[in-house]
Amino acid sequence: MHKVLHIKYTNNVLNKFVNIDDKSKKQILIGCVANDLCEFTQEYSDIVMRFDLLLKSNRSNFLFDSSPIYESLAIYQSHYGKLSALHSMAQTRDIPAKSTRKDILKLLAFLEHIVLNGDTEMLLKSIDKFEDILGSQIQDVTFKVYKLLDTKNIFKAKHRAIGMILHIIEDSYTKSHCRRVRGLIKTFYYYKDQSNHSDFDVVQNKNEDVMKRYLKAVLKKLLKNKSAKLEYKDIFRLSASATPSFGGDLKDTYGDFLDLF
Ligand SMILES: [Zn+2]
């Protein structure tokens, strides 16, 4: 979803809470777009430099190239790779919906861990040290926690983590990230096959109210230093007929209608 929309929805839910101070609000808003930026932050100059080089080489699809150097870059390209759960998407094609759901819930648990228990020391640890929370899929993502949040300041980090949680939820209600049938997730998509991703990167009207209610419920708990685990489980409930991941037939405007039968 475009960052303007993330900011719109996050601002909308933040405005429902009168007691949040402006400093916290600002960091939550930064966090709600961090999911798109975390792999190319200023701190991450090595990746940025390689990215520039690749851009100059004029390869349009280098992030998806199968040669080792490009594959390793894809680990950090969050829509496609190890961090795809940051956008409620599958890592690649044919992943069972249950596994993607698990990845997303683990990532939410990790971000929530930063919000509820994080300290300055934790920010300096390597991401792969959190295998107990994140699971083995993260073991070769070796950058430090503060690079994910682009700050070593714990106040900023905690609030940005809240924003990142909201981003994951917001993405899950767009047609370009996953398909919902009567609110339940039927298919998680993956990015590689989506040439028209941005055209469908909006929240569907029928999902907007329920998304806003969940954003509010989650934010309410996190601001009170409580876990929103139950809400996450509900938000990412799978349809009984859930299918493995694919690029999504985004042009199929009748799909949602047909699913009703
Ligand atoms: Zn996203």
Give 261 Cα–ligand 1 centroid separation in angstroms.
Answer: 31
Q: How far is the CA of 100 from the centre of ligand 1 (A)?
A: 15
- Of 77-86, 200-209, 238-247, the range with the highest mean pLDDT is 238-247
Taking the C-alpha atoms of residue 141 and residue 73, their distance in angstroms, rounded to an integer, is 11
How far does residue 86's CA lie from ligand 1's centre (Å)?
Answer: 6
The rounded Å distance from CA 91 to ligand 1 centre is 13
State residue 161's pLDDT score. 97
| Angstrom distance (rounded) from CA 164 to CA 148 | 10
The larger pLDDT score, comparing residue 200 to residue 92, is at: 92
When mean pLDDT is compared across 63-72, 84-93, 123-132, the lowest value belongs to 63-72
Q: How far away, in angstroms, is 68 Cα from ligand 1 center?
A: 25
pLDDT, one tens digit per residue, over 113-148 is 999 999 999 999 988 899 999 988 777 677 788 878
β-strand 184-189 against 238-246: which pairing, if any?
A: parallel
Element housing 188 (H / E): strand 184-189
- pLDDT (tens digit per residue) in 11-53: 999 999 999 999 999 999 988 988 876 554 444 444 445 555 6
The packing angle between helices 97-117 and 205-223, to 10°, is 40
Cα of 58 from ligand 1 centre, angstroms? 25
CA of 4 to the centre of ligand 1 (A): 12
- 130: helix, strand or coil: helix
Tokens 């808003």 correspond to 29
Could you read off the pLDDT of 235-256 as tens digits, one per residue? 999 999 999 998 876 655 444 5
78 phi-psi bin (left φ>0, alpha ψ -120 to 50, beta other): alpha
Distance 6 CA to ligand 1 centre (A): 9
- What are the structural domain ranges in the chain? 3-253
- The whole model's pTM is what? 0.83
Say if residues 151 and 160 touch (Cβ distance below 8 Å). yes
- Encode burial over 25-51: b for 16+ CB neighbours within 10 A, e otherwise: bebbbbbbbbbbebbbbebbeebeebb
> 135 Cβ partners below 8 Å, 6+ apart?
102, 103, 106
Q: How far is the CA of 97 from the centre of ligand 1 (A)?
A: 18
Are the C-beta atoms of 14 and 216 separated by less than 8 Å? no
State in Å: Cα 35 to ligand 1 middle.
6
